[in-house]
Amino acid sequence: MRKIAIASVILALCGGTFYVVSAAEKAAEPAKEAAPKAPIECFESRKGASEITQKELKPGWPNVKCSPTTGAALWYGDPFDGTVPMGKMPQLDIPEGKAVVKPRSEKLALMPLCGVSCHNGVGPKFTPPTLPKDKKPAPVPTMAAMVPDLANLQHGRGRIWCLDCHHTTQRNKLVDHYGDPVSFDQPQLLCGKCHGDKLRDWRDGIHGKRIGEFVSTGKKRWFTCTECHNPHNVQDGARNRGFVQLQPEPSPQLPRGMANADHEKLHPIPH
């Protein structure tokens, strides 16, 4: 955006001559002029796993504005763009359509293959001949090559493994405590079986994030657990917990008439 603005200022300053030259260039290179611009992409909550492509909802009205510093989504033209109803959640009594989520399955590149090409217990040469008989950890080099985090699974400090989360026979599904399949679009039903406290907080709105209508009865987009947490790496490297550190946004512009933000360095209550 800024580049375009600068270019047009230069254009205005250089005046007519520049215009004539650029018009001639335009005529000489029609193909270059018509080349489509690379789409602008930003991430919503987890870099590399929650990307959203900028598009116009109506002329001059983008679906999202991206930070030029961090590449994170900063503002939404429509908070419900691309969402679907959340689906049934125990203990959550919200009228149909008032709670919506962004489906995870469309972000998972391997998902169309998981339950079809491999892991179905029968079939062509890539298919393991039998499904595992128990949940004991066993290295899966092919998987680790496809999803590098799996080579050294950092979740549960060695106490949990693939089939605590993934359904044994339906590999394009997660699994609940009864062994029933759970959609990838409802990870809260999986995570909540072990992290009940976090599920409760999320349900109450004190963990996670929601955007949408401000009133309590309004329609909201709920961010699901896996939009923020990478289930295969919740204990980031040397920190051994939490997230990979993000680059912070630059500080916001000071309000008009305020010379500096020194007052923020003094805590009003001594401690």
- Residues in a beta bridge with 106: none
| Closer by beta carbon to ligand HEC, 23 or else 145 | 145
Sign of CA dihedral 41, 44, 48, 52: negative
Residue that is written with structure tokens 């959609």 in the block: 183
Residue that is written with structure tokens 């809260």 in the block: 188
Amino acid at site 137? P
- Should residue 232 be labelled a site residue for ligand HEC when binding is judged by CB under 6 A? yes
- Should residue 207 be labelled a site residue for ligand HEC when binding is judged by CB under 6 A? yes
Pick from 184, 189, 212, 220 the residue near ligand HEC by CB under 6 A: 184
> Minimum distance from CB of 218 to ligand HEC (Å)?
19
Strand ranges, E, within 2-83? 41-43, 51-53, 56-58, 61-62, 64-66, 73-76
Contact in structure between 103 and 92 (CB atoms under 8 Å) = no
Terminal-to-terminal C-alpha distance of the chain: 45
Each residue 50-89 as x (binds ligand HEC by CB under 6 A) or -, in order, gives ----------------------------------------
Of the candidates 189, 47, 183, the residue with the CA atom closest to the CA atom of residue 111: 183
Read out DSSP for 43-65? Answer: ESSSTTTSEEE--EEETTEESEE
Pick from 2, 241, 265, 271 the residue near ligand HEC by CB under 6 A: 241
**From CA 256, how far away is CA 144, in angstroms rounded?**
53
Among 15-23, 118-126, 189-197, 251-259, the segment contacting ligand HEC (CB under 6 A): 189-197
Establish how many alpha carbons lie within 13 A of residue 151's alpha carbon, considering only the half-sphere containing its beta carbon.
Answer: 7
Residues numbered 90 to 119 that lie near ligand HEC (CB under 6 A) are 104, 108-111
> Minimum distance from CB of 153 to ligand HEC (Å)?
5
Residues numbered 159 to 178 that lie near ligand HEC (CB under 6 A) are 159-162, 164-166, 174
- Should residue 212 be labelled a site residue for ligand HEC when binding is judged by CB under 6 A? no
Instruction: Please give the residue ranges that form the binding site for ligand HEC (CB under 6 A).
Output: 45, 49, 104, 108-111, 140, 143, 147, 150, 153, 155-157, 159-162, 164-166, 174, 184, 187-188, 190-195, 198-199, 202, 207-209, 223, 225-229, 231-232, 234-235, 241-243
